Structure 1
């Protein structure tokens, strides 16, 4: 200490870490460490500065050693999602490739409105060394570094070239992290020489500080306007998004729906917003939603979206809202999202907005014929869902082939739908199932029962392969209770992209279960390819045929997925039959450390379709005669698109 303890001399890296340890989020009176842990991989761009600082403060800020910087960023985003944006990780990386590995993680966090603090090393601020290892040289901009690639995918970016810049940069960074309107990836880019420079910082900078996650209060006139639209509507329908979770508005949503009878559908982000299977609850919406929900959406004359960005998966590329006079209303903390579809907007907190609407609509209920139509559609879907998930009905290969499916011969005995059925019957209140890219998130949106405390953690804003495995780490960090199972449901294609954070889970002794659906390829993209091109190309995992010009159409690749997981520290099991899957799930519940259960699933067998168009264009011209009919079908779908302004 100096000057009567008014300042403290620290390096830039020490100051950053010391500041982080003193920051707290406060929401609804609950106070917690905003950054409960740091993570990273050290290289020449951060080893001298940040490794020393993290080591010095390791008793206050635990450090997680990772295998891939991108994955560590995903773990931070998953922690943020699981804690309703109350916590996240700080992730450090070296300059060059290490920093660039953070670009995808930053994109995911920003797209999903999730707080994530990134601390990449950067090239020397003094420049006296000349070009350094991994430095990009731009003749038109000497100050440009590869870290500038993080600017467009972050909500806050600051390159610290002087130690005293931290005095304003650090509070600004945490202001953005804690702001539900602005939150996303926050980047402090730190040149490696500056990390080790010392400065006399004011002691006041490091006092414990609380960052209130505010609830913007909706304007009464906006609430009244939306309430009036609901009163006027004959067939209103509510779409619940991730904002319902972040504002902890689930109970308010259920009270609103129960009192008014307005049916509720869920987006990927909103999955699990409704915790009781009431008469008005519809389930998933959109391209991967269930067909019953989508038929009702097509009939709705008022769409009330709450806490959602309404991307094209939820809107069927703007083809789902078919009522000629359909109108839109919304509740959203972000004005950009609130005004989409030309909606009458309530700009404010989802919980407060729903409570205000419920009060304004006291005594109002939807028409009886709309409630009856909802009940009829739900009754149609229920047995179809049950048949697709029932693991005790043997897969009928002959019947599938009679319908035109050419099912490859494998050792699989269950379909992916039946595997989900097995996971569903095993799930208890407090458990979480995680999925992101490929078929699993769409299948879970369509059929998973996320009521009664069975959480469903879907990242589909960025549809990011590689999120799932580290997401298990983030979700487990959010709640270490061993009685609550964390299950990552993942296809073999995504698993092979980057399985290495299983080793991090083992190193940290984290109980995470990884269930791999082994269907020999990128099968959900193969499905789309067949719909939009008409032939499989480059999606099945096959050996190249011998000889010149041989294509990737030989036998399936021989991949030892259990060996990969076991070699990375997981308890690895292969389960082929429904009975074996049940036994593997039961025997490993409560196991210490990561568990990998590989389940062969029958390729090319999908859950029932959603009946929704997606604007993915087949080739307009082609020498392959089967493409033209697909293009014609696509153009017919385009005719259903509408602008809602």
Structure 2
């Protein structure tokens, strides 16, 4: 900028809002507003700056009034995931607790590599006011504020203390948002007094700008090395992750499977990567995957991971790969993920990498023996899955096979698996089901059919309780076609943690369906607790008992979930039987606004196990005699744990 360049006088907050309203993402020639809307809650730390700016530019950026700052961040992440990282929200918050409410949302976005723009207010830059409301005082660092908590959970953090800093900081922020390797939460922490300060900004700063989401091409020799490794393997297997979705590589992956017969398993993020069922399609893998997939993974002598971080849920804490000759390869846009497991690494956009691999494997097909083994395992799993989901089978809690569960008396007649079966019956092409924490995402990974246009939006990178309800709003914003259903599948434990954005869905007139599995507690953690500790403690929703210990051991809490939903503006139905659930789903598909269907489900009844170990250690010493055998079992499981370097 020179002194002769035209300028425009704006406040810092106005400059930020005007800038973000003119930024666009470009992917495969498709241009979208990068920040199509904003959200926030105003307090003294942003009300005179950002509220005025968003009001002034409300024609360009619609403003969503949320109930909780964390939830607004989750709406942005839900939108980003549903648009393959091409759009997200800007979220503003006041200093202090408002800003801190965004820290969890920041971590979720960063862990999942989802773009999210956060604009928390910060304490005064001038400091002449003395200690201000909600300010943290650090005697060793006057410049430190609570907003420094964003640094480890964001991919770009800048504290704005001078207006001219925006000239370089804003482009850098959007560079990170658009970079598939670096993307995550971007935090511009703006001092409270600075937001209202005026400055002569260069007009050029506010021109429309396109940010390409680039497709990194692989090195030919890296792809050829992977192809040669596949040719040399007897039992190759592909693990598909979220990168397949973000790069829009689903069709190419389908072509690879059809051409070669290499079996494809899916992570949480990769669920739905294969859109048409085939003999070689395995479904979910890992701790919450189906046992047939996991048995095949254990046999594989070459694992090719595509677009996945390979967390411990996908690797069984590094115990799943049991073939002594197993080798690894990876196609990933991020080198940090491509080199995991010490295998052959191709740093590449997933679609570009699959395209080149498909060409290199033009005349390749897996052996008949491997194909036969795949079909055999799938054939064994198929009736187990069908039986677990069949909603018309009467569940007998007194059957001998359930004797050890001590299933309590409730009004539930359906299991959670049967509820999923009913949702599956109702699901149509274009519908999206969302889950993030507790039992629902694991159950959906194991049994949900996300083919033929049905989509599963599973956030399990951060496994964040409280993500689901606001994320449903983000997914609906990304999918405005009202004939397509956006459903949030959530347990009562997670529902009670963060239900309030149902009111936001009602306020915005958004069609989002919330299916609540009422099983009286944090049941998936109770299951883990029983496996690793051997006693239920603090997970059932029970009244305080009157025994000597005074534990939470009384009757189940009486929680009016329906009253909560009605109070927040949803159309609420309590459905107990299979027919009632069917009717509720059918009759509410076209309802304008949020719908909440509460379904009592039988506690303590799980889907078939995955047969996979997870490294969660029972106590090494304990006065409780039942803990010692669990520790022994755990140590036996560790024997399968291997380094892959």
State the shift of 1:376 in Å.
0.4
Alpha-carbon distance in 1 for matches of 2:107, 2:520:
28
Alpha-carbon distance in 1 for matches of 2:547, 2:641:
47
Alpha-carbon distance in 1 for matches of 2:314, 2:547:
46
State the shift of 1:5 in Å.
7.8
Aligned to 2:626: 626
Alpha-carbon distance in 2 for matches of 1:104, 1:619:
29
Alpha-carbon distance in 2 for matches of 1:249, 1:270:
11
Work out whether residues 261 and 366 of structure 1, in 8 Å CA contact, stay in contact via their aligned partners in 2.
yes
State the shift of 1:550 in Å.
1.4
Query: Does 2:85 match 1:64?
Result: no
In the superposition, the TM-score normalised over structure 2's length comes to 0.99
State the shift of 1:545 in Å.
1.1
Aligned to 1:481: 481
Aligned to 1:293: 293
SS at 1:101 equivalent: helix
State the shift of 1:549 in Å.
3.4
Deviations 1:276-303, CA, capped at 9 Å, x for gaps = 0011100000000000000000000000
Work out whether residues 518 and 601 of structure 1, in 8 Å CA contact, stay in contact via their aligned partners in 2.
yes
Alpha-carbon distance in 2 for matches of 1:343, 1:116:
32
> Which runs of structure 2 are paired with 1:12-27 in the superposition (5 Å)?
12-27=12-27
Deviations 1:497-555, CA, capped at 9 Å, x for gaps = 01000000000110000000000000000000000001101000000013663110000
Deviations 1:391-442, CA, capped at 9 Å, x for gaps = 0001011215654221100000100000000000000000000000000000
Work out whether residues 401 and 407 of structure 1, in 8 Å CA contact, stay in contact via their aligned partners in 2.
no
Change in 2 beyond 3 A, CA 1:355/1:419: same
State the shift of 1:155 in Å.
0.2
Change in 2 beyond 3 A, CA 1:376/1:97: same
Aligned to 1:539: 539
Work out whether residues 117 and 185 of structure 1, in 8 Å CA contact, stay in contact via their aligned partners in 2.
yes
Alpha-carbon distance in 2 for matches of 1:548, 1:316:
40
State the shift of 1:358 in Å.
0.7
The count of corresponding residues between Structure 1 and Structure 2 is 644
> Which runs of structure 2 are paired with 1:473-512 in the superposition (5 Å)?
473-512=473-512
Deviations 1:479-500, CA, capped at 9 Å, x for gaps = 1111000000000000000100
State the shift of 1:4 in Å.
8.2
Alpha-carbon distance in 2 for matches of 1:457, 1:283:
15
Deviations 1:546-597, CA, capped at 9 Å, x for gaps = 3663110000000000000000000011000000000000000010000000
SS at 1:534 equivalent: coil
Deviations 1:133-174, CA, capped at 9 Å, x for gaps = 010100110000000000000000000000000000000000
Change in 2 beyond 3 A, CA 1:6/1:286: same
Alpha-carbon distance in 1 for matches of 2:590, 2:31:
29
Aligned to 1:195: 195
Alpha-carbon distance in 2 for matches of 1:175, 1:287:
36
Alpha-carbon distance in 2 for matches of 1:499, 1:619:
35
Aligned to 1:7: 7
> Which runs of structure 2 are paired with 1:399-438 in the superposition (5 Å)?
399=399, 402-438=402-438
Change in 2 beyond 3 A, CA 1:579/1:400: farther
State the shift of 1:307 in Å.
0.1
> Which runs of structure 2 are paired with 1:588-603 in the superposition (5 Å)?
588-603=588-603
Alpha-carbon distance in 2 for matches of 1:176, 1:488:
30
Alpha-carbon distance in 2 for matches of 1:457, 1:153:
22
Aligned to 1:36: 36
Alpha-carbon distance in 1 for matches of 2:400, 2:135:
56
Deviations 1:246-300, CA, capped at 9 Å, x for gaps = 0000011011111111000000000000000011100000000000000000000
SS at 1:140 equivalent: coil
Aligned to 1:117: 117
Work out whether residues 95 and 120 of structure 1, in 8 Å CA contact, stay in contact via their aligned partners in 2.
yes
Alpha-carbon distance in 1 for matches of 2:91, 2:381:
44
Deviations 1:197-249, CA, capped at 9 Å, x for gaps = 11100000000000000000100010111110000000000000000000000
Query: Does 2:237 match 1:223?
Result: no
In the superposition, the TM-score normalised over structure 1's length comes to 0.99
Query: Does 2:239 match 1:239?
Result: yes
Change in 2 beyond 3 A, CA 1:400/1:188: farther
Coordinate RMSD, CA, aligned: 1.0
Query: Does 2:481 match 1:514?
Result: no
> Which runs of structure 2 are paired with 1:23-422 in the superposition (5 Å)?
23-399=23-399, 402-422=402-422
Alpha-carbon distance in 1 for matches of 2:117, 2:536:
41
Alpha-carbon distance in 2 for matches of 1:5, 1:637:
68
SS at 1:617 equivalent: coil
